[in-house]
Amino acid sequence: MKLVHTFLESSFDKAPQQPAVWFKDNWHNYQELEETANRIANFLIRSGIKKSDRVALLLENSFYYVAIYYGILKAGCVTVGLNTETTASSLSYLLANSDSRVLFTDKSFKKHLIPNLGQLSNLLKLVFISIPKGFEDPENVEELNSVLKNNSSSRPNVRLIDLDLAAIVYTSGSTGVPKGVTLSHLNIATNTDSIITYLELTTQDRMMVILPFYYIYGMSLLNTHIAIGGSLVIDNRFAFPNAVLNTMEETEVTGLAGVPSTFAILLNKSNLKSRKFEKLRYLTQAGGAMAPSMQKEVEDVFSPARLFIMYGATEASARLSYLDPQFLSQKYGSIGKPIPNVDLFVADAQGNPLPQGEKGEIVARGANIMQGYWKDKNETNSVLKNGLYFTGDIGTTDKDGFLFIVGRSKDMIKVGANRISAKEIEEVIIENENVIEVAIIGLPDKILGEIMDACVVLKNEQEGWREKLLKHTKSKLPSFKVPSKFTRMESLPKNSSGKIMKNKLKELKGIK
């Protein structure tokens, strides 16, 4: 039996002085991390927080985030990582929806907390890294330094089994109200083991972390590297990509993880191509499809580091499949094959496997699949059916058993009588050398129902760029798949994990 917090305990037992977390020019070893997590766990227990109570984190990535995360789990509680790009109303909803008993946060989020004071009766404690003005007196407010000073560093002993809940991870809400994905210790632990296996992680691996830990991809980076006794290098300055590249060189990281926009920014808005990362062993990409043309460029620029294309979902504790780098040049555009201990295949509406080459929904089966959506049986029943998780992605399998996504059931645009995958069009447009990013959205049309608008971020606004892009697209696609509009954007709206928010893009255009 594995519990998520035993990742930390096991690594501490083996090598207490091993570097665990780098943050703001300082290394913190496993002893410091273990003892800090224990103090937080003992504080929660002394405060009357019970096993299975929810404890929320509204914090930027830091050493303290990692310690608090494992401290919550050591106390037998459930972690609730909250998106730092929040509003007062969104924060109120998530805290109330999760029934969180404690919130760990910092003074930078004061403006979101003030409107909620007195409204969250379930919240027993509010713990700040540094207490802001106006919060000094209330009995339920604590400062982290005081928590650490007044609680024991000894390991608590809360009995759990691996079927107990470990985390509620809220989806990004790109298509509606965020849903709370419930993950057990077994879900996370089994997925962590699989990722460690196919990435061949060791104690010598150091991961460059720019993805937020509340995001499932970021959480998987945290757990895999702590579980193996490796190191996390945290740098929250990706708005200044060259600063992050400096950190990568200085700390000699072996791994870099990102979503497609991460690599688009590095390729086009940094001095990446003039650098060499001597220790970099591998790259991982997930969080949405990366066009084959960009895969080729990333592979070339970062060579000899190997690029792992990965596919997954919050509902799968992160990962479902990966494309082994040895097959990348033969299978550009593929999401690869299932990770260890997961079944993944293309199926009909009932979950029956479809023959090679036929299109259907990609479904999964494994110990990593979520328990369900928190307080939402209808949504749970819509994706967990017949012992399978229905991903919502439309895919096909080639003759060698490699999986390809050809569209998303909820990202299809109906143009006249044709249902068109936005992803297919985006992959063609991104191949144009002047395009950095693209998002296809549907616009209302009185005759066709919808027309496609290709929203693009360009390297250069060359004269006649629209005509050139139209010519490029027509050369690759049948006429009914060519967008009716091409709109130049300075940037595309994204959430804090780097995913393009198409609903926000539509709002900018006045579409409800």
pLDDT (tens digit, 9 = 90+) per residue, 93-122?
999 999 999 999 999 999 998 887 777 778
Asked if the model's pLDDT at residue 398 lies above 50, the reply is yes
The tokens of 354 are what? 């479809």
E-only strand ranges, 303-355: 306-313, 318-323, 334-338, 342-347
Task: Report, as an integer, the average pLDDT of 3-19.
Answer: 98
Residue among 386, 389, 379, 368 at smallest CA distance from 184: 368
Residue 174: the pLDDT is 39
Give the residue among 270, 279, 227 at the shortest CA–CA distance from 249.
Answer: 279
pLDDT confidence of residue 447? 67
| pLDDT band at 178; cut points 50, 70, 90 | confident
pLDDT at site 116: 77
Per DSSP, the three-state class of 186 is helix
Residues of the chain above pLDDT 70, percent = 96
- Domain spans in the chain, listed from the N-terminal domain onward: 6-184, 237-357+389-408, 412-508
User: What local confidence, expressed as pLDDT, does residue 135 receive?
Assistant: 84
Question: Per residue in 191-245, pLDDT tens?
Answer: 999 999 999 999 999 999 999 999 999 999 999 999 999 999 999 999 999 999 9
Residue 427: CB atoms within 10 A of its CB come to 19
Q: Give the pLDDT of residue 324.
A: 97
Kind and range of the H or E run holding 505: helix 502-508
How much is the pLDDT for 173? Answer: 44
Is the pLDDT confidence value at 504 over 80? yes
Show the tokens assigned to 418: 């044709």
CA proximity to 335, closest of 301, 364, 300: 364
Q: Which residues contact 76 (CB under 8 A, 6 or more apart)?
A: 50, 51, 52, 158, 159, 160, 164
Lowest mean pLDDT among 186-195, 218-227, 503-512: 503-512
For residue 175, what pLDDT is reported?
42
Assign domain 6-184 one CATH number from 3.40.50.980, 1.10.10.10, 3.40.50.720, 3.40.50.360: 3.40.50.980
**pTM, whole model, 2 decimals?**
0.86
Q: What is the pLDDT of residue 417?
A: 52
Secondary structure (H, E, C), 255-281: EEEECHHHHHHHHHCCCHHHCCCCCCC
**Is the pLDDT at 428 greater than 60, yes or no?**
yes
Q: Write the burial class of residue 381 (CB in 10 Å: 0-12 exposed, 13-18 middle, 19+ buried).
A: exposed
Q: Is the pLDDT of residue 408 over 80?
A: no
Top pLDDT among 196 and 124 is at 196
- Give the pLDDT mean for 15-30: 98
Using alpha carbons, select from 494, 486, 424, 484 the residue that is nearest to residue 461. 486
353 pLDDT band, cuts 50/70/90, is: very high
Out of 3.40.190.10, 3.30.300.30, 3.40.50.150, 2.40.30.10, which CATH number does the structure's domain 412-508 have?
3.30.300.30
Q: pLDDT, tens digit, for every residue of 260-280?
A: 889 989 999 999 999 999 999
Does the pLDDT value for residue 156 go beyond 60? yes
pLDDT of 480 above 80: no
The two domains 237-357+389-408 and 412-508 share their CATH topology (first three levels equal): no
Contact present, 488 and 437 (Cβ < 8 Å): no
Whether pLDDT at 63 is above 70:
yes
Which pLDDT value is given to residue 414? 67
What is d(CA 505, CA 512) in angstroms, rounded to the nearest whole number?
11
Mean pLDDT of the chain: 92
Q: What is the pLDDT of residues 465-474, one digit of tens each?
A: 999 999 999 8
Domain 237-357+389-408 carries which CATH code?
A: 3.40.50.12780
Span 243-248, average pLDDT: 98
Predicted confidence band of residue 500 (pLDDT cuts 50, 70, 90): confident
